[in-house]
Amino acid sequence: MKSDNSNTIENDQPLSDTAVNINSILAHVKKPSRYIGKEFNAVKKDWQSVAVKVALVFPDLYEIGMSHHGLHILYRIINSQDTMLAERVYAPDKDLEALLRKKDWPIFSLESRAPLTDFDMVGITLPFELCYTNILTILDLGKIPLRASKRNDSHPFIIGGGSGSFNPEPVAEFFDAILLGDGEEAILEIAETIRQAKELQLDRQETIARLTEIAGLYVPSLFEPQYDKEGRLLQIKPLKPGYEKVNRRILPDLESVDGPFPPLVPLVRIVHDRLGVEVARGCTRGCRFCQAGIIYRPVRERSAEKVVKLAEQGITAGGFEELALLSLSTGDYSCLSPALGRLMDTFVKQYVSVSMPSMRVGTLTPEIIQQIKKVRKTGFTLAPEAGTDRLRQVINKGITEEDLLATCREVFAHGWKLIKFYFMFGLPTETMDDVKAISELVRKATKTAAGKNPRINVSVATFVPKPHTPFQWEPQLSIEEGYERIDLLKKSLPKSCKLKWHNPRQSFLEGVMSRGDRHLSMLIEEAWKLGSRLDAWTEHFDLELWQKAGAACNIDLAEYLRQRDLSEILPWQHLDTGVDESFLMAEFFKALEGMYTEDCRVHACQKCGACDFKTIKPVVQCKIKDSDIQESIEKNPAAREIAQDTAEYDVVNEKQGPAERFRCRFFYSRTGDMRFLSHLEVIQIFFQAFRRANLQVHFSQGFNPVPKVSFSPALPVGTESMAEYMDVDLKQPVTDQEFIIGSLNRQLPEGCEILKIALSKDNKANASEEMLTCYRISLGRSLSQEDQGRLQGFLEKESVTVSKIRKGKMRLFDLRNQAAELQILQNNKIELIQISHQDKASSKPMEIIKEVFGLTDHEVLDARIVKLWSKKAGLSGL
Ligand code: SF4
């Protein structure tokens, strides 16, 4: 009955010889579902059949890492090769780290639960600066020496990549090599080089020498930074002739590559639980604070046809309820109008919403706003960045207050009640008047709404000068200056406005790392030894540890926030983004003058140096503006076809008459690792499986339509069950039960299985009715005479009352009264039949077992409990 999808994990048996058996510890961590893997479309290959094994590491928790599009791309590319495999590793939370250390177990991949040392290469994403200590946690738990210089032939190659690689100096000593730029092509060259080196039995140094021949690959050990007495850089000395500068790798054409397909579908809620389709890479708007706007130049767009195709394939294969059009500025995507119309036409009918996470004021036309609201009113966030037109000119934002207010008016007019604004403070030339102006702008924007109670909420963060930008020489605000601005806003913003701020202490450390040099490897290692973990998480972040580490290493952290002289050697000077330093400097001076630099995608080339105009050049698919669409349609048959589809949209989606409704009860089991999922996560898994299996289900009406399905009461996390059910409102009757069960089970992860389908009777117990539920429990030990005696003692009592906290309130429960039957079976298992009422809170079955057998909390977590059946008292079956 289970999945025949060859790309889906089929069983619990790890294929790596040294796989870690984590089942015994998962029940003891806060969120075990982060570590079980088994996502739909995950790939688990035969370890014996491949020549190169790659662990792809994202150095933060699963919820963040699993949302990262880049890692999914590399995962698919490597796994598309017969001779290679890729598996994933995410940072453990502190509780799992402690357990692994206690047991002396290595960190493991999700797919095969293999230790890092079983891989030939470990590819680590460098997404942001506050994840650096997590890299050390992962290497250390992986039993790999932290410093590249200490590794030998038995260790995998540690290769970095991602947007943080353009100043990797603070972590340079931990990496054997770091890829600059787009990874699509380079990842296979790197893996193939390692394969050949293995075949030729080259040693580590010989292999690294070969890696330097791959374009875009930076080997830090072949560059030696030299400092003066004050610790400032004198030069970065190349140690290998002919390897003096490393140029970034760039994919000339996004159209020629597909997105990550089939998409990985997480079982647990993650930050961005959706299908991402990249519509463009690169942005040439020229915001002077933006590093991504420099390192991903030029703009390379996908055609509308390709975007629509990738979206349709991805939603079919993934079952997501949201599609996100990804790019640095999706509103600037030249084919947005035709693509969006076509996507909405397809997806509105399937209740799939389309979101554009990076929309810019000035690109939000009424037409686009109208499209966005068709399925769900996703949140509306606008980024004015600065409070005044003057400061926005300095940063080259290219929008005026008038543009911003016009957009707010439009958004409010379309029914939104809340808009979020994002600002930075500490931008070059900022004065306190610019900060005060934020509050004034919020007042004006609120007044653009015609309806009642409009709200603008504000998020602020300290500006962090980034390498390779026109502001890379500028100073950063101190922590105190950051708080001063927050206080000013707290006092001056309207009462209705909620203010959120990024912790200035975290921005301080981000600033240190962002423009840091190689000295910081020492600081990071020291802070990690002192206990720094998961620094991007406010609840874990502790600046004091970093300050202590700074004192121990004789490093003044605040020094890294200072202004740089324009002639100063910068730690990233030998790493070339393609954009000329002279362009950055010219932009810096233009900023001081408030001069605007136009976007080269619609105006002339601004001569930044990124393009060679042979292979590398801007790729703009529809060279039209929204206002020119009509004219373009006349000339472009493909666009005409799409536009016609869009025009028909409203007719197709006119309210249809009430469709027939067939209410069925689907019985299902939830066993194995699925016991670690929450009720909401299981609901999500079924909704996605319905979409993938094309099961026609009615949806609710209103703001956020969801499938009309009601589930049996939530099962406590950790409990398995053979007796769950859901009542589903189908659009068609079930004529072939076996076919539907088979189709659905192929779309469900191992451990979730539809058992049978029945016409839904009104089986719901009314509030006063008694329910009986049978559980089978195995403790992690043999049951003894003493246990039998305890059980006997319990059964002989009239009542056993305990107090428990439920929803924050103290409640009394009579455990004896709830245990209708309780016995030890021949097979060393316990059977409990528990009585409950729909309208009364009851104890959890393990609370009864714990009390009866005097279990410790640890023993409770080690127990396996399976719900076997549930029925109304007095009924012989369901
Ligand atoms: S070289 Fe010219 S066209 Fe290419 S990204 Fe730079 S400014 Fe744009």
> How confident is the model over 787-807, as pLDDT tens digits?
999 999 999 999 999 888 877
What is the pLDDT at residue 527?
98
Going from the Cα of 367 to the center of ligand 1, the distance in angstroms, rounded, reads 30
The DSSP symbol for 48 reads G
Structure tokens at 123: 């590819």
Asked whether 88 lines ligand 1 (CB < 6 A), one says no
In short, whether 600's Cβ falls inside 6 Å of ligand 1 is: yes
Q: Is 297 in the pocket of ligand 1 (CB under 6 A)?
A: yes
C-alpha 155/C-alpha 119 separation (Å) is 8
User: How many alpha carbons fall within 13 Å on the CB side of residue 256?
Assistant: 6
Q: What is the pLDDT of residue 631?
A: 46
Residue 385 CB burial class (10 angstroms; 0-12, 13-18, ≥19): buried
Contacts of 217 (CB under 8 A, 6+ apart): 159, 177, 178, 179, 180, 186, 190, 211, 246, 249
Is residue 618 in contact with ligand 1, taking CB distance under 6 Å? Answer: yes
Residue having the nearest C-alpha atom to atom 4 of ligand 1: 611
pLDDT band for position 11 (cuts 50, 70, 90):
very low
Q: Is residue 610 within 6 Å of ligand 1 at its C-beta?
A: yes
Q: How confident is the model at residue 444 (pLDDT cuts 50, 70, 90)?
A: very high
Alpha carbon of 582 to ligand 1 centroid (Å): 14
pLDDT of residue 357: 75
Compare 582 and 1 and report the one with higher pLDDT.
582
Listed in sequence order, the DSSP H helices in 104-244 are 132-141, 186-199, 204-211
Residue 804: predicted pLDDT: 82
> What is 742-790 written as a DSSP string?
HHHHHTS-TTEEEEEEEEPP--PPPTT-EEEEEEEEE-SS---HHHHHH
Place 771 in a pLDDT band, splitting at 50, 70 and 90: confident
Give the integer Cα–Cα distance in Å for 673 and 685: 14
Whether the Cβ atoms of residue 621 and residue 332 lie closer than 8 Å to each other: no
C-alpha distances in angstroms, 651 versus 233, 648, 654, 745? Answer: 66, 5, 5, 36
Taking the centre of ligand 1 as the mean of its atom positions, its distance from the CA of residue 15, in whole angstroms, is 49
Ligand 1 neighbour 66 (Cβ under 6 A): no
Q: What is the pLDDT of residue 762?
A: 54
Query: Which ligand 1 atom lies nearest to the CA of residue 616?
Result: 4
Q: Is the CB of 282 under 6 A from ligand 1?
A: no
- Ligand 1 binding pocket includes 298 (Cβ within 6 Å): yes
Q: What's the pLDDT at 10? A: 33
Instruction: Say if residue 784's pLDDT is above 70.
Output: yes
CA of 774 to the centre of ligand 1 (A): 69
pLDDT at 106: 94
Residue 736 CA to ligand 1 center (angstroms) comes to: 59
Task: Check residue 230 and give its pLDDT.
Answer: 84
- What confidence tens digit (pLDDT) does each residue in 341-397 have? 889 888 888 888 888 877 777 777 777 777 666 655 556 788 999 999 999 999 999
Ligand 1 atom closest to residue 608's alpha carbon, by position in its atom list: 6
Confidence band, pLDDT 50/70/90 cuts, at residue 637: very low
The whole-angstrom separation of Cα 303 and Cα 570 is: 39
pLDDT tens column, 79-127: 999 999 999 999 999 999 999 999 999 999 999 999 999 999 999 999 9
Whether residue 12 has pLDDT greater than 80:
no
User: What's the CA-to-centroid distance between 629 and ligand 1, angstroms?
Assistant: 25
Q: What is the mean pLDDT of residues 812-819?
A: 91
Per-residue pLDDT for 829 more than 70? Answer: yes
Distance in Å, CA 608 to ligand 1 centroid: 5
655 pLDDT band (50/70/90 cuts)?
Answer: very low
Express each pLDDT in 247-267 by its tens digit: 999 999 999 898 899 999 999
Spacing, Cα 577 to ligand 1 middle (Å)? 13
Q: Of residues 522 and 632, which shows the higher confidence score? A: 522
Regarding the beta carbon of 763 and ligand 1, being less than 6 Å apart is answered: no
**Residue 183: CB partners within 8 Å, gap ≥ 6?**
70, 73, 74, 161, 249
Amino acid letter for position 281: R
Residue whose Cα lies nearest atom 3 of ligand 1: it is 605
Binding site membership of 616 for ligand 1 (Cβ less than 6 Å) = no
pLDDT reported for residue 346: 87
Q: Tens digits of per-residue pLDDT, 166-183?
A: 999 999 999 999 999 999
Taking the centre of ligand 1 as the mean of its atom positions, its distance from the CA of residue 599, in whole angstroms, is 9
Confidence grade of residue 417 (pLDDT, cut at 50, 70, 90)? confident
Task: For ligand 1, atom 2, name the residue with the nearest CA.
Answer: 605
3-state helix, strand, coil in the chain (%, to 5): 35, 20, 45
Is 438's pLDDT higher than 60?
yes
Beta strands 52-58 and 84-90, pairing class = parallel
How many A from CA of 611 to the centre of ligand 1? 6
What average pLDDT does range 325-334 have in this prediction?
90
The DSSP symbol for 878 reads -
For 85-98, give the DSSP string.
EEEEEEPPPHHHHH
- Tokens 């701020």 correspond to 501
Ligand 1 near 283 CB (within 6 A): no
pLDDT, residue 653, reads 37
Question: Mean pLDDT of all residues in the chain?
Answer: 89
Distance from the alpha carbon of residue 311 to the mean position of ligand 1, in angstroms: 29
Evaluate if residue 327 carries a pLDDT over 70.
yes
Going by alpha carbons, the residue nearest to atom 5 of ligand 1 is 298
Residue 295: what pLDDT?
96
284 Cβ inside 6 Å of ligand 1: yes
What six digits make up the tokens of 232?
């400032």
DSSP 109-128: -TTT--BGGGSSEEEEE---
Q: Which residue's CA is the nearest one to ligand 1's atom 7?
A: 606
- Asked if pLDDT for residue 645 goes beyond 60, the answer is no
Number of the ligand 1 atom closest to the C-alpha atom of 613? 4
Per-residue model confidence (pLDDT) at position 337: 85
Model confidence at 630: pLDDT above 80 = no
CA 605 – ligand 1 centroid, Å: 5
**Lowest model confidence (mean pLDDT) among 236-240, 369-373, 511-515, 852-856:** 369-373
Compute, in angstroms, the gap from residue 298 CA to the centroid of ligand 1. Answer: 6
Determine if ligand 1 sits within 6 Å of the CB of residue 608.
yes
Is residue 432's pLDDT more than 50? Answer: yes
What pLDDT is attached to residue 767? 56
Q: Quote the ligand 1 centre to 607 CA distance (angstroms).
A: 5
The 3-class secondary structure across 639-704, one letter per residue, is HHHHHHHHHHHHHHCCCCCCCCCEEEEEEEEECHHHHHCCHHHHHHHHHHHHHHCCCCECECCCCC
Ligand 1 pocket test, pick from 250, 284, 614 with the greatest ligand atom count within 8 Å of Cβ, gives: 284
pLDDT in tens, 223-240: 999 999 888 899 999 999
Predicted TM-score of the model (pTM): 0.88
CA angle 672, 10, 30 (to 5 degrees): 35
| pLDDT for 643 | 33
Report which ligand 1 atom has the smallest distance to the Cα of 299. Answer: 5
Mutation test of ligand 1: which of 611, 613, 615, 623 has the most ligand atoms closer than 8 Å to its C-beta? 611
